[in-house]
Amino acid sequence: MVSGVKIAIVGAGSVGFTRKLIADIVSVPELQDVEFALTDVSARNLELVRRIIERVIEVNKLAAKVTATTDRRRAFEGARYVISCVRVGGLEAYADDIRIPLEYGVDQCVGDTICAGGLLYGQRNVPVILDFCRDIREVAATDALFLNYANPMAINTWAALDYGKVRTLGLCHGVQHGAEQIADALGAERHSDLDYICAGINHQTWFVDLRLKGRRIGREELLAAFERHPVFSKQEKVRIDVLRRFGVYSTESNGHLSEYLPWYRKRPDEIARWIDMSDWIHGETGGYLRHVTETRNWFETDYPKFLEEAERPLDPTKRSSEHASHILEALETGRVYRGHFNVKNAGIIANLPQDAIVEAPGFVDRFGVNMVANIVLPQACAATCDVSINVQRMATRAAVEGDVELLKLAVLHDPLVGAVCSPEEVWQMVDEMLVAQAAWLPQYAHEIPAARQRLSEGKVKTRDWAGAARREVRSVETLRAQAAARRENTEV
């Protein structure tokens, strides 16, 4: 039993994720008596979550402790691990990340990575990330590890490492989900029959080597598998097209991938060709915004159900594939865990810039995260990643320095924005976003009046529309009715 480990979770108010993280961690026998220190800006959510975790601990008779406080520094005090899953600006700012770019023709599906929305999201995040890092440096345990789950992954991790000066690891489950889908497409008996190397940057990572029970899977076989798959052939049209042309499959879901590339969402009348509206979000305009809005509403009314769920004993075999618990296990026990992580590209991907934040395979053991050296990406994958990396580098520095011009240049160089907008449109769009989100952009405070002035004189014509493929946010009642219907269908 490893003792004395304190794990702080910031943004802990998001109940589902916090509960999963903690359940995963206490599934490790050696980690059952850790201390979880939850913190969030919302005292109310925090209390709701704390109560659930408290119940989980009691029901499962764990030695773990849980505390909750809105005082972040107290939560971080002495912590060996700090896990962040914050969303700065909440749904209010997020809605603007989707709405304003649409006025300028930029039709995003998720908008949390690059593209106009993701880049502004980064501007909101970085000041907060730097605050976290200062607190970690000052009050957390020596050499504490910062595990960042928050998007935009590359920008947040870049800021934490280069400017926050904290040991940081960026974590995402995109690689695992992509691999499961490939395994399904290939008809694997078990997901674990598929071995793979992924490399690139977060949300643009590429399956550069695939083995099914040890047999190498080439482009033609994979393409055929996806094309004949009844569901994926409909829902993953962009990914399949990219596979066809690049030769490798991307980790990122269809709609998300489509917004990092200049080719699939620039003509409104063609977007529908590449997405699927039947289910979940495979490319719909503002699809993820709709999803998280529905989820939040659902949570508000369905809290009792979470509490009820907490009464059921944990099943260690249900431990999720989220990296955090596996990393902690590896670091604390020495059992090797292989995953794909977001880190500074120091010797890892030979044909991406060495200062970039890359996502690549690593083996975690008690010595830390041992990233694999000297991976070479196919040239087209590297070319596509390079565009985003340049955008991220500019956006990160702009966010730290509050440099409006550099931010505009970052947005201008974004692949989808660049394919859709003219420079003057970009300049006005960014001004509009800065003004709308000023409350979360302290580093730009001195620039807001001038931006407001420029806006009032703005000559660029904007467009009033909801995007090429917009769905309504469903009410809780509708969701409940649909869930009930699904259950009935399944049971029959």
Give the whole-angstrom CA distance, residue 111 versus residue 434.
16
Residue 232 backbone phi and psi in degrees, to 5: -60, -35
Report CA-CA distances (Å) from 395 to 154, 165, 414. 10, 18, 10
Cβ proximity to a copy of itself, 18 vs 342, nearer residue: 342
Taken in order 298, 299, 304, 308, the sign of the CA dihedral is: positive
User: Could you tell me the smallest distance in angstroms from the CB atom of residue 345 to a copy of itself?
Assistant: 9
| Interface contacts to a copy of itself, rule CB under 8 A | 195, 197, 209, 211, 214, 241, 245-247, 262-264, 266-267, 270, 332-334, 336, 338, 346-348, 350-351, 353, 361, 363, 365-367, 370-374, 379-380, 382-384, 386-387, 390-391, 393-394, 397, 405-406, 408-409, 412-413, 415, 418-419, 421-423, 427
Contact 208, 199 (CB under 8 A): yes
Residue 44: phi and psi, rounded to 5, are: -65, -55
Q: Under a CB-based contact definition with an 8 Å cutoff, are residues 182 and 211 in contact?
A: no
Helices 174-185 and 219-228, interaxial angle, to 10°? 80
Q: CB of residue 241 vs a copy of itself: minimum separation in angstroms?
A: 6
Q: Pull the structure tokens for residue 398.
A: 């702009």
User: Based on the number of CB atoms within 10 Å of its own CB, is 443 exposed (0-12), middle (13-18) or buried (19 or more)?
Assistant: middle
Q: How far is the CB of 398 from a copy of itself (least distance, A)?
A: 9
In the complex with a copy of itself, the residue whose CB is nearer, 30 or 47, is: 30
Closest approach of a copy of itself to the CB of residue 434, in Å = 16
Closest CA to 125 of 148, 109, 143, 106: 148
- The distance of closest approach from Cβ of residue 242 to a copy of itself in the complex, given in angstroms and rounded to an integer, is 8
| Choice among 81, 196, 249, 260 that is catalytic | 260
β-strand partners of 201: 204
Q: Which of residues 308 and 424 has its CB atom nearest to a copy of itself in the complex?
A: 424
Count Cβ atoms below 10 Å from residue 43 Cβ, excluding itself: 12
Distance in Å, CB of 450 to a copy of itself, minimum: 15
Name which of 167 and 291 has its Cβ closer to a copy of itself.
Answer: 167
Taking alpha carbons only, the member of 172, 480, 63, 85 closest to residue 301 is 480
Looking at the Cβ atoms of 13 and 402, the one nearer to a copy of itself is: 402
173 is catalytic: yes
Q: Is 340 a catalytic residue?
A: no
- Which lies closer to a copy of itself via its Cβ, residue 78 or residue 368? 368
Task: Tell the smallest beta-carbon distance from residue 303 to a copy of itself (Å).
Answer: 40
Its sign, for the CA torsion 148, 150, 154, 158, is negative
Look at the alpha carbons of 122, 128, 130, 133 in this order and tell me if their dihedral is positive or negative: negative
162 vs 386 by CB, closer to a copy of itself? 386
Q: Say which residue the tokens 């296990």 belong to.
A: 329
For residues 28 and 23, what is the distance between their CA atoms, to the nearest angstrom? Answer: 9
Q: Which of 291, 239, 281 is nearest to 260 (CA)?
A: 239
Q: Tell me the closest approach of the beta carbon of residue 404 to a copy of itself, in angstroms.
A: 12
What DSSP character marks residue 187?
T
Residue in 85, 86, 121, 122 with CA at minimum distance from that of residue 100: 121
| 353 C-beta neighbours (distance < 10 Å), count | 14
**Strand ranges (DSSP E) for 33-144?**
35-39, 65-69, 81-84
* Nearer to a copy of itself (CB atom), residue 96 or residue 414: 414
User: Active site residue: 173, 177, 191, 291, which one?
Assistant: 173
Report the C-alpha gap between 338 and 326 in whole angstroms. 9
Active-site residue numbers? 173, 260
